[in-house]
Structure formats: C-alpha cells, structure tokens
Structure 1
Amino acid sequence: MYLTWLDSNSWLLEIGNQRILIDPWLVGSLTFSNLDWLFKGSKSQERPIPENIDLILLSQGLEDHAHPPTLKQLDHQIQVVASPNAAKVVQELDYTSVTSLAHGESFTLNNQVEITAFPGSPIGPTLVENGYLLKELASGLTLYYEPHGYHSPQVKQVAPVDVIITPIVDLALPLLGPIIKGTNSALEVAKSLQPQVMLPTAAGGDVTFEGLLMKLLQAAGSAEEFRALLEKNNLKTQVIDPTPGDRFELCLEEHKTLPISG
C-alpha cells in the first residue's frame, strides 16, 4: 500500500494495484461559494495531476472535498464514487461514470478493492456525508477515511482496521463548536479499530489560508500530543506525519488466513 498526501484532504492511495484519488484539490485556490473574504486557501505550488487514475473517491460535496476547478481538469472518463451530495457535483460536470453510495452501500473496483460508505460528517441539520472503508480483497488489508473526525458507531463492526486517515487536531469556531473533531475523536476511533497506522488529514500542508474565518478558527492539538495519548492508552498505533507530495509505502502486517479444520 502506497500513499501520497497532496495537501489538505487530498490523497493518492495505491491499493490492490489500483490508483485512487481521494477528495482532490490540486489546482487553483479553495473558496466556498466564491467568498474570498470569508475563506481562501492558496497552494505554494500546484500539484501535478496524477496519471493513470482508476477512481476518484469523494466524501463530501463541499468545495474542499469536491473541488470544482480540479474536477474540471481531471479526465471526465475516470470512474467516480461519491456521497450523494458529491455525486451531484460531478454529474453536473458531465462525468460519464458516477456511482453514488448511500451509507451501508458498497462498490467493488476492478475486483480488487471494496469500498463501503459509512455515515461521516454532518453538514447542516439534515445532511450527513460519507466516510469510507477500503478493503484490498487479495490481502484483506483495510483503510478507513473520515476527513472531519465524525466517526459513526457502525464503524466498530469492521474492527480491526489497518490504517486510519482522520484529523488529530481540533478546529472550532466560537459559539458554533467544532468544525473538525481531532484529538479525542481520533483517540476513540483508535481504541475501537486498533489500527496499525494513523495519518492526519485536514491539515494545511503547503497551503496558506486567509479570510475572516481563519481569524475566528481555534486550533488545538498536535501529532506529538496525540502520540503521547496513544502511548498513555497502551495503543501501539504508529502515527505518520507525511510530507506533502512525497509518495511513501506503508509496511503493514498482513492478515493471516487460519487453516480450515476438519
């Protein structure tokens, strides 16, 4: 299994001989509803569009997960698996193969990787976006991705999970509360799923953020503090703090199939 962090929530995952691009923001700036004064993210360097992508996986329909300028540049023939809200974004861009996954539904990519949708981040009073469990069918290795730290109790049913990508730092707005649930939420999911490796997401990377929202956001936590929490709770999970743009291999202990008796 290989991973490349492409800043913010964007990842390139290589699993089961498949190349999966997760929540890509690769070109241009990041704004919400074109309100630069409220929030704007700018990259110090644009990431090249990865080649030979087998699937685009979108967890949410908001611009920091389904980034319109990036999606416009990607090949519209690439398969897309998305939350129902994100599926609308790519369908409006005329992508030709879009699978909308409701919570509990699964999709199998080229008989190599099974992707199952779980309840993820709440957006407003009624909408709940997706988290995903990806399983390499040949080895049984699994990866769980939820970019805002909202972990459904249903995820416990798939324990143990080998790799978790989720925030480990809290981001909150005064009076409104957490936008991103980091430290405590990440610790609880680590206890539940007993991962071999955890990787933080939703951090900036090589990105500069500005606007009114950035003046109000309150951040708490760090990778070092989270490692100490894991140790305090007798968890052997390794925390990897990736460098943006660097491809790295996760050396995981594969699941051993027990012999069938009788």
Structure 2
Amino acid sequence: MHLTWLDSNSWSIELGGQHILLDPWLVGSLMFGNAAWLFKSDRKTPRSIPENIDLILLSQGLEDHAHIPTLKRLDRQIPVVASPNAAKVVKELGYTQVTTLAHGETFTLPQQLEIKAVPGSPVGPTAVENGYILRDLVNGTSLYYEPHGYHSPTLKDSAPVDVVITPIIDLKVPLLGAVIKGQKGTLQVAQWLKPQVILPTAAGGDITFEGLLLKFLKAEGGAKEMRSLLAQNGMTTEVIEPTPWERFEVPLAQKSCI
C-alpha cells in the first residue's frame, strides 16, 4: 500500500492495483459558499494534478471533499464512487460513471479492490455522510478513512483494519463544540479496529488559512498526545505524520492472502 497526502483531506491511495484519488482539492482556493471572508485556504506551493487516476472516491458533498474547481479539471470519464450528496455534485458536473454508495453498500472490482461505505460525519440535522473501508482483495491489506472523527460502532464488525486515516486533533468552536473529533474518537476507533498504523488527516499541510472563522477555532491534541493515549491503553499502533506530497509505502506486517 502506497499513500500520498495531498494536504487537508486529500489523499492518493495505491491499493488493489488501483490509483485512487480521495476527496481531492488540487487547484484554486478552498472556501465554503465562496465566503472568503469567513474561511479561505490556499496552497503555498503550486501542485500538478496526479496522473493515471483509476478512481475518484468522495466521502462528502461539501467543498472540502467534493471540491468543484478540482472536479472540473479532472477527466469526467474517470469512475467515481461517492456518498449520495457527493454523487449529486459530480453528476451535475457531467461525470459519466458514478456509483453512489449508501451505508453498508459495497463497490467491488473483482479480485482487486473492495470499497465499503460506513456511517461517517453528520451534516445538517438528519444527513450522515460516508466513511470508507478499502480492502485489497489480492493481499488482504485494508484501510479505513473518516475525515471528521465520527466513527460508527458498526465498524467493530469489520475489524481488524491495517491503516486508519482520521483526524488526531479536536477542532472546536465555542458554544458549538467539536467540529472535528480527533482524540477520544481516534482512540476508540483504534480499540475497535486494532490498526497497525494511524495517519492524521484534516490537519492542514503545505497550505495557508485566513478568514473570520479562524478567530473562533480552537485546536487540541496532536501526534504526541495520540501516541501517549495509545500507549496508556496498551496499544502498539504506530502514528505516522506524512510529509505533504511525498509518496511512501506504509510499513505493514505481511499478511496471508484472502
């Protein structure tokens, strides 16, 4: 399994013979509703769009996961697997091969890759977006991704999972509470899935931030705190902080083929 963190929530995943682009933000600014006064993020370094993408995987329909300027730049013929809200976005942009996954549903490339949608982050009063469990059907390695730290107890049925990509910080707004739950939530999901490796996401990268919202956000925790929490609970899971845009092979113990 090879991974590349592309800043923020964006990842390049090489698994099951597929090159997967996950929640890509690759061009332009990142804003919500074009409200730059509220929040805006930009890249410090211009980046090229990765080549030879086999699949786009989208967990949410919000701009920091289904980034419209990026999706407009990508080839509309690339297959997309998406949450129902994200599927609406790419269909409106003209993508021709869109698979919508509700919770519990699975997308499979026979003898290569399986992607299962699991409950993820709540959006609004009723909607719950997707997390994903990806499995390499050749060597059995697996990965779980949820970008806001909302982990469903149903994950217990999928244990063990080798790699967890999720926030390891808490990001709080006064009076509203945590918008990202990365400390206790990550410890809990580690206890459920018993991963070999945890990788943080939603933690910035080679990017800048500005806007009124920054005055109210409060971040707590980090890699040091997470390693301490894991050790206190008798877990040997490794926490790896990837360098943005540097491809690396995840250090995993060998597994038997499934």
Q: What's the CA shift string for 1:203-223, capped at 9, x where partnerless?
A: 100111111111101110010
Q: Distance in 1 between matches of 2:26 and 2:103?
A: 27
One-letter code of the match for 2:158? V
Comparing 101-110 with 3-12, which one deviates more in the overlay? 101-110
Instruction: Specify the SS of the correspondent of 2:88.
Output: helix
Aligned positions of 1:24-173 closer than 5 A: 24-109=24-109, 111-173=111-173
Unaligned runs of 5+ residues in structure 1 are: none
Q: Distance in 2 between matches of 1:224 and 1:53?
A: 34
Say yes or no: does 1:190 pair with 2:190: yes
Deviation at 1:21, TM superposition (A): 0.4
One-letter code of the match for 2:147? P
Instruction: Specify the SS of the correspondent of 2:30.
Output: coil
Deviation at 1:241, TM superposition (A): 0.1
Deviation at 1:257, TM superposition (A): 5.9
How many residues align structurally? 258
Residue 88 and residue 162 in structure 1: after superposition, are their counterparts in 2 closer, same or farther (change >3 A)? same
Comparing 127-136 with 46-55, which one deviates more in the overlay? 46-55
The residue number in structure 2 matching 1:4 is 4
Aligned positions of 1:203-222 closer than 5 A: 203-222=203-222
Q: Distance in 2 between matches of 1:192 and 1:225?
A: 19
Q: Distance in 2 between matches of 1:169 and 1:47?
A: 26
The residue number in structure 2 matching 1:227 is 227
**Percentage of matched positions with identical amino acids:** 67
Check whether the contact 1:149–1:185 (CA below 8 A) recurs between aligned residues: yes
Check whether the contact 1:161–1:195 (CA below 8 A) recurs between aligned residues: yes
Check whether the contact 1:6–1:47 (CA below 8 A) recurs between aligned residues: no
Q: Distance in 1 between matches of 2:174 and 2:38?
A: 15
Residue 110 and residue 73 in structure 1: after superposition, are their counterparts in 2 closer, same or farther (change >3 A)? farther
The residue number in structure 2 matching 1:253 is 253
One-letter code of the match for 1:20? I
Instruction: Specify the SS of the correspondent of 2:185.
Output: helix
Please, what is the CA RMSD of the aligned residues? 1.1
Deviation at 1:252, TM superposition (A): 1.2
One-letter code of the match for 1:235? M
Check whether the contact 2:132–2:145 (CA below 8 A) recurs between aligned residues: yes
Instruction: Specify the SS of the correspondent of 2:32.
Output: coil
One-letter code of the match for 1:230? L
Q: Distance in 1 between matches of 2:56 and 2:215?
A: 33
TM, length-normalised to structure 1: 0.96
Unaligned runs of 5+ residues in structure 2 are: none
Q: Distance in 2 between matches of 1:49 and 1:197?
A: 27
Deviation at 1:225, TM superposition (A): 1.0
Instruction: Specify the SS of the correspondent of 1:189.
Output: helix
Instruction: Specify the SS of the correspondent of 1:128.
Output: strand
Check whether the contact 2:120–2:128 (CA below 8 A) recurs between aligned residues: yes
Instruction: Specify the SS of the correspondent of 1:245.
Output: coil
Deviation at 1:237, TM superposition (A): 0.4
Deviation at 1:45, TM superposition (A): 1.6
